[in-house]
Amino acid sequence: MATDKRINFWRRNPKVPGSVQPVYGAQHPPLDPRLRRTYHKDTKPKVNNLKSKKASSFHEFARSTNDAWDIDDAEDEDFLGTPAPASSSLHSTSKQNQQQQQHQVGDTENRMPHSLAPLTTERLQDVQEEERDCRHINGKVVKSNSEAHLSSSSVHSTLQKQQSLPVRPIIPLVARISDQNASGAPPMMVREKSRLDKFKQLLASPNTDLEELRKHSWSGIPREVRPVTWRLLSGYLPANKERRELVLQRKREEYFGFIEQYYHSRTDEHHKDTYRQIHIDIPRTNPLIPLFQQPVVQEVFERILFIWAIRHPASGYVQGINDLVTPFFVVFLSEFVTEDVENFEVAELPLDTQRNIEADSFWCMSKLLDGIQDNYTFAQPGIQNKVKALEELVSRIDEDIHNHFKKYEVEYLQFAFRWMNNLLMRELPLRCTIRLWDTYQAEAEGFSHFHLYVCAAFLIEWRKEILSMVDFQGLLMLLQNLPTIHWGNEEVGLLLAEAYRLKYMFADAPSHYKR
């Protein structure tokens, strides 16, 4: 009874001092234990189908997730409680567990969907196997090759929670970096295998046909060849295969020459403010992904950003540039990692490998920023112009949304500034950003020009939710916290297709683009 009162108290008082508050952006969603839900192959979820039914308003979306932090306080007790008994105790207490299971089934019989079958011994064994293989235990990400085992009591507690929770499809968590569709299906299919062979054939030729490589990269690059493909498409590597090793060696030595020449000046009076801001921003980069909380990784990011700022005094370091390093770092790290990248200990790699990843990330990020540097110069004129262009474009393609913003006095700069400054990285999970950048690298002026049409398509994607908001605060809350946590390759592919359609219609039609 006391526990119920305590849970209800926190649900009624979400803003009590010390309570966890939601953070804006797709990279900072509530960690929902229900995301670990699994099903039999013949079981079809009947409710909360994210693909077929979206929240009609942000308030409905919020209500559907407002208990993400307190779905069951017992989970914390399981994690912090007494040590669990040995696995052999499961057999000795099977009779007691059977009685508890029957009681639980009786209590939840009216709440459970009809499609869920009663708990059986076979089902218990299945769940134990699934929990042993699960990569997320007690809300923490573990390596895919770990030997994590759950005790009999924690298995039973998990079964009770799963029975009482709503049915939801298997979906990747926001901290997952690997390519994955929202349905949870593995990315490598038969068609992907043939695409991979085509990429390998192009990359193995003495002089890579960059136009052909861009053509195939537009719809996504296979993970195995993404590192070398990104180096080629960004202009970091030459098309001639024989020259690549020499270029890599020269550019990597040049980068570490910059480190020796400039990095010691980070404590100088002229540069200490820049370094201080970088040092503050780095821990905020993807805080839910363990990879980016490792000291060795944060030191790499500090060096990359400081050297870039010193070499580009017209703009210097601007908040948001720190996000732009992460896709390159993850992609180049994946070249040496076979397990989950998000949980890999970078310090385990040889020092030369760490240095190569750092140098390649610096040069590719520099190539990207060379094309959009006016986004970060004084007063950020590039972003101002792009936001204005977005407003004009939306007024043409969806006048209802445009008039809705005007009615409630919502300025495009209030939400689209971050879209342009961070290239939608705060709105999408990192795995989606990597897939998006495959196309950006393949497009001519992808980061500077095509991104405008992606932002327009992204805004129109939420048309129903936007028009359902009837106040200024509700609109901004929605636009700053769009529910993309479950997005994968499929959603990004549809977004890019719509962006291409808009570009085809408006990019070369100035009379249609402007009033």
DSSP, res 251: H
Q: Looking at residue 8, what is its pLDDT? A: 54
Among 438, 444, 416, 445, smallest CA distance to 495 is for 438
Task: Convert the pLDDT of each residue in 475-513 to its tens digit.
Answer: 999 999 999 999 999 999 999 999 999 999 987 766 655
100, 330, 84, 367: which is closest to 226 by C-alpha? Answer: 330
How does residue 22 score in pLDDT terms, banded at 50, 70 and 90?
A: very low
Same domain, yes or no: 253 and 217:
no
Q: Are residues 298 and 332 in the same domain?
A: yes
Domain identity same for 259 and 236 = no
Tell whether 274 and 313 lie within a shared domain: yes
The CATH number of whichever domain residue 222 belongs to comes to 1.10.10.750
Domain membership of residue 52 (yes or no) is no
**C-beta of residue 396 within 8 angstroms of C-beta of residue 512:** yes
Cβ 142 vs Cβ 135: under 8 Å: yes
Distance CA 210, CA 441 (A): 11
Question: Which tokens belong to 481?
Answer: 């916290």
Provide the domain count of the chain: 3
What's 453's domain CATH number? 1.10.472.80
Model pLDDT for residues 32-58, shown as the tens digit of each residue: 444 444 444 444 444 444 444 444 455
Same domain? For 322 and 413 the reply is no
Q: What is the pLDDT of residue 211?
A: 95
Domain membership of residue 361 (yes or no) is no
Alpha-carbon distance of 457 to 467, in angstroms, equals 16
* Same domain as 321, residue 225: no
The whole-number pLDDT of residue 449 equals 94
**321, 337, 355 - which closes a domain:** 355
Residue 394 lies inside a defined structural domain of this protein: yes
Q: Are 405 and 494 in a shared domain?
A: yes
* pLDDT at position 435: 96
CB atoms within 10 A of CB 128: 18
Query: Region 60-77: what's the mean pLDDT?
Result: 46
**Mean pLDDT of all residues in 148-161:** 43
Residue 67 phi/psi, 5-degree rounding, is: -105, 20
Taking only the tens place, the pLDDT of each residue in 336-384 is 998 788 889 999 999 999 999 999 999 999 999 999 999 999 989 999 9
**Domain with 472 in it:** 381-508
Tokens at residue 205, please? 């030729």
- Residue 309's pLDDT band, with cuts at 50, 70 and 90, is very high
| Least reliable range by pLDDT among 141-150, 392-401, 426-435 | 141-150
Indicate whether 237 and 261 sit together in one domain. no
What is residue 175's predicted lDDT score, i.e. its pLDDT?
A: 53
Q: Which residue shows structure tokens 């300025």?
A: 411
CB atoms within 10 A of CB 139: 14
**Are 217 and 269 in the same domain?**
no
Statement to judge: residues 211 and 283 lie in one domain: no
Q: What is the 3-state secondary structure (H, E, C) of 131-169?
A: HHHCCEECCEECCCCCCCCCCHHHHHHHHHHHHHCCCCC
Q: Is the pLDDT reported for residue 179 higher than 60?
A: no
**Residues paired with 140 in a beta bridge:** 137
- Cα(149)–Cα(8) distance, integer angstroms: 32
- Helix-helix angle 244-262:351-371, to 10 degrees: 90
**Does residue 134 form part of some domain?**
no
In this structure, are 231 and 252 located in the same domain?
no
Domain membership of residue 43 (yes or no) is no
pLDDT at residue 150 above 90? no
The alpha carbon of residue 390 and the mean position of all alpha carbons in its chain are separated, in whole angstroms, by 24
Share of the chain above pLDDT 70, in %: 62
User: Is 103 within a domain?
Assistant: no
The burial of 160, by beta-carbon neighbours within 10 Å (0-12 exposed, 13-18 middle, 19 or more buried), is given as buried
Asked if the structure places residue 425 within a domain, the reply is: yes
Distance, in Å, from the CA atom of 178 to the CA atom of 223, rounded to the nearest integer, reads: 9
Which residue in 86, 87, 78 sits closest to 33, CA to CA?
Answer: 78
Question: Rounded CA gap, 493 and 501, in Å?
Answer: 12
How many residues are given for the chain?
515
Residues whose CB is less than 8 angstroms from the CB of residue 98 and which lie 6 or more positions away in sequence, other chains included: none
- Domain membership flag for residue 116: no
pLDDT bracket for residue 391 (50, 70, 90):
very high
Distances (CA, A) of 374 to 364, 371, 382, 393, 476: 18, 8, 5, 21, 26
297 shares a domain with 211: no
